[in-house]
Amino acid sequence: MISKGIDMKKILVIQNKRIGDVLIASVIAQNMKAIYPDSLIDYLVYDYTTGVIENNPNIDNILVINDAELKKFGNLTALIATIKKRKYDIIFDPYAKLQSRLICLFSKAPMRIGFKKRDKNPPLPFYTHNIPFLDHKTKNCGKAIEDRINMISSVFDCSKVKIDYEPKITLTAKEQQYDKLEHYDKPFVMLGILGSTPQKSMPYEYIVEIVNHITKTYDVNILFNYAPHQKKDALDIYEQCDNKENIVLDIYEDSIRGFITLMNKCTLLVGNEGGTIHISKALNKPTFTVFSPYVLKEHWASFEDGKMHTSIHLLEEKPDLFSTDRDERRKIEEDPSFMYKQLTPDLILPKLDVFLEHHLK
């Protein structure tokens, strides 16, 4: 164990993945700042994910990279050289893919902390500390967060600090004054109608049925959330919906930071598992999550209590339909359409109603 008294000044967290992953891994920064208050903590992320960690008081610098550009060998070697020059004392690599492993290896940082894959140490000394994934979650923060906290507690003395498992989003005073919803007299429900990838999206006809049920049953306004490149699909869904007067299409934010400020003024969110769910939880907004069949709920269902945050997963409704075997889940991920069709509105709506009635009536 490394004790709190040792002066570790420069820390890097590498998380070049999607929005939700970046937000979840930010718990590393906030807990390392508690252990070493005088440390400088940098966070290496893809350019499209920075919005979830902007203004975070535990992150001193955001190092921005482009996904496509980093795949070019010359750009990767240039980044490695930059990281090496910064002379970090500690590097955390929760991403643990080849790019980030190479960055760790050539950084020469005295402490390089990363995950073992399938309980095997990597073939090269990418890390000085190879941390195994936990077998099971033991806390309601979800296994993904617990694994990242375990990267810290396996190496550092945390006895004098209170571990914080909750990712944070920090709003500026101006962002807190967002006022586009002020002229409406009904609460706003944000619907994540499309997942971040096609594999995380429900069949469109199911989405329409859920939207129609909400607008018919509850006295609310609906907002659609989707990525800018998904606008055509969102409009197609809208055209199939009833009660269009309760769906406000004119209010939409096309950036992560814009979505954060808008979501902060909504009552709750219903959507596919992904970054927007994790953002809403960090804003302390109630969430109802529809999990893609191939996603392990134990890993990514965070802070669920059946009231504030709840969810539905196909395996809970039809446990004999398929297994959580890694190879089988990969096959489902390649084409989840059949499995998604098994998670029908008839299964979703009773659970969704319990959630909505608790928060809206």
CA atoms within 13 A on the CB side of 32: 32
Show the tokens assigned to 214. Answer: 């909400």
pLDDT of residue 336: 75
Q: Is the dihedral of CA 181, 184, 186, 189 positive or negative?
A: negative
Mark the ranges of the chain whose per-residue pLDDT is less than 50.
Answer: 3-5
354 and 221 inside one domain: yes
Q: How many residues are recorded in the chain?
A: 361
225 and 120 co-located in one domain: no
Cα–Cα distance measured from residue 58 to residue 113, given in angstroms and rounded to the nearest whole number: 19
Instruction: Give domain status of residue 162, yes or no.
Output: no
- H/E stretch holding 61 reads strand 61-65
Q: What are the residues whose beta carbons fall under 8 Å from the beta carbon of 293, sequence distance 6 or more?
A: 313, 314, 315, 322, 332, 336, 339, 340, 342, 343
Q: Domain check: are 129 and 187 in the same one?
A: no
Token pair 């998604």 is at which residue?
A: 340
Q: What are the φ/ψ torsions at residue 222 (nearest 5 degrees)? A: -110, 135
183 and 325 in a single domain? The answer is: yes
pLDDT in tens, 91-148: 999 988 889 999 999 999 999 999 987 767 777 899 999 999 998 889 999 999 999 9
Answer yes or no: is 148 within a domain. yes
Q: Is 165 in contact with 139 (CB distance < 8 Å)?
A: yes
The reply to whether 139 and 183 lie within a common domain is no
State the pLDDT at residue 196: 67
- Residue 5 has what pLDDT? 44
Which helix (H) or strand (E) is 223 found in, with range?
Answer: strand 221-225
- Quick check: 314 and 351 in contact, CB under 8 A? no
129 with 258, same domain? no
**Domain identity same for 177 and 149:** no
CA dist 223 and 277 (Å) reads 15
The angle at the Cα of 264, spanning 260 to 267, to the nearest 5 degrees, equals: 130
Q: What token pair was written down for 4?
A: 């709190």
Same domain, 107 and 208: no
And the tokens for 85? 């020059």
- Sheet with 287-290: strands ordered across: 221-225, 188-192, 268-272, 287-290, 309-312
Residues 104 and 107: their CA atoms lie apart, in Å, by 5
| Together in a domain, 205 and 338 | yes
Residues 106 and 217 occupy one common structural domain: no
Residue 182 belongs to domain with CATH number: 3.40.50.2000
Q: What pLDDT is recorded for position 123?
A: 79
Q: Which domain holds residue 236?
A: 173-360
The pair phi, psi for residue 31, each rounded to 5°, is -80, -35
| CA separation for the pair 254, 134 (Å, rounded) | 37
Q: Which tokens is 101 given?
A: 């492993």
30 occurs within a structural domain: yes
Which of 153, 188, 203 terminates a domain? The answer is 153
Q: Is 43 inside any structural domain?
A: yes
Strand 309-312 vs strand 111-115: parallel, antiparallel, or unpaired? unpaired
Question: CA-CA distance, 93 to 113, in Å (whole number)?
Answer: 6
pLDDT at 219: 96
Residue 161 domain flag: no
Please tell me whether residues 331 and 279 are part of one structural domain: yes
**For residue 321, what pLDDT is reported?**
77
Number of compact structural domains in the chain: 2
Question: Does any domain span residue 2?
Answer: no
Distance in angstroms (rounded) separating the CA atoms of residues 111 and 275? 30
